[in-house]
Amino acid sequence: MCSLVRNEFRLCNFGLNFLHPEYFGISQWRWPRPVYLTYRLVMAGYTLFALIYTLAEVETDNSSDVASAEPAFNPMVFLTNWSYLVLTFHFFIAFVVAVVCYIRDRASTKPQPTSENAPPRHVGESPTISNHDKGIESHEDIAVKSDNEMGSGGPKPESKSPDLSETQDLNTTPWYSKISWILANITSDTCIIVTSIYFAALYDPSSGMTLSNLNVHGLNTVFVIVDTFISARPVRILHFIYTLIYAVAYIIFSLIYWATDRAIIYKNILDWSTPGSTVGILIGISVLVFLLQFIYFGLYQLRLYIYRKVYGKESR
């Protein structure tokens, strides 16, 4: 396990190339592809509905509460809504990637007149590394000599795939899968942060729980955890950098927003009238982002462990 974690801190793991890009469009488990596509469609549709419902509810509250002493904020100034918007994009693009992979996999399984016995190629795959059956295999990380990452179940040839660091120049991952990977990393970290901060510092039990609050502050975390265990998408510890970039973008936005009319978006958390405490909180959140990515990586390894236990020798 120590070797596995140490291996994650190679510079190449900051990048977004992956030897088997079809893993971004399939389930970890042996689900029929139409079932996985249905799951992707349902999640994309529900998060879009929840986002529209939440924004409409906030607009209604702002227009009806004209006498309130509290300033009426644009709903998109809140990190909660930023993050739910990213979550919605994540599920939509993940659905698109799944559809593209499905279409290209079906096309690749058609008989080829020049090579009838060759295994099918898959989305983004180089002709020189087509060594898995139906896009389903567990490939060995040379650095740790163990099965490290798997797609959905199924037998594979006994051939060994090259290490990821040896294939960076192949640029095997399509741009849309890279976008999906970035969004998955951002949502997996920020949704947990949003949920934790809301229930620890902002939630008032006496006010109850509305459907919009439940969606953007509770179900968001449930969705990303469930998706982590369903998708075959890999996880890299060093990809916490993308969440940090996202966080810095929001921090800069909040500072500019505060500088225009001194409006405080989150009292006692992101209050630029007391920059010392605010900077301290932001440093703490930066550390938390790294820890959450580490936990996210742990959930990924747990997923692979369960996969090996469920499918046994067939997954080797």
- Judge whether 315 and 147 are in contact, CB under 8 Å: yes
Residue 70 is predicted with a pLDDT of 54
Per-domain residue ranges for the chain? Answer: 2-315
Q: Which of 88, 85, 89 is nearest to 75 (CA)?
A: 85
Q: How confident is the model at residue 260 (pLDDT cuts 50, 70, 90)?
A: confident
Longest dimension (CA), the chain: 75
Amino acid at 245: I
DSSP state of 159: -
Say if residue 316's pLDDT is above 80: no
Full-model pTM? 0.77
Which two structure tokens, joined as six digits, stand for 219?
């179900």
Q: Residue 14: name the closest of 190, 245, 225, 210 by CA.
A: 245
Cβ contact 90:21 at 8 Å: no
3-class state of residue 28 by DSSP: coil
Going 135 to 138 to 144 to 145, the CA torsion angle's sign is negative
pLDDT above 80 (res 251) = yes
Query: pLDDT, tens digit, for every residue of 167-210?
Result: 344 457 899 999 999 999 999 999 999 998 888 888 888 888 88
Span 199-209, pLDDT tens digits: 888 888 888 88
Work out the angle between the directed axes of helices 220-230 and 79-108 (0-180°, nearest 10). Answer: 20
What residue has token string 């070797």?
A: 3
Cα end-to-end span (Å), the chain: 18
CB neighbour list of residue 248: distance below 8 Å, 6 or more residues apart: none
d(C-alpha 222, C-alpha 194), whole Å: 12
Higher pLDDT, 9 or 117: 9
Which contacts (CB < 8 Å, 24+ apart) does range 115-119 have? Answer: 119/157
* pLDDT-based confidence at residue 75 (cuts at 50, 70, 90): confident
What 8-state DSSP symbol labels residue 273? T
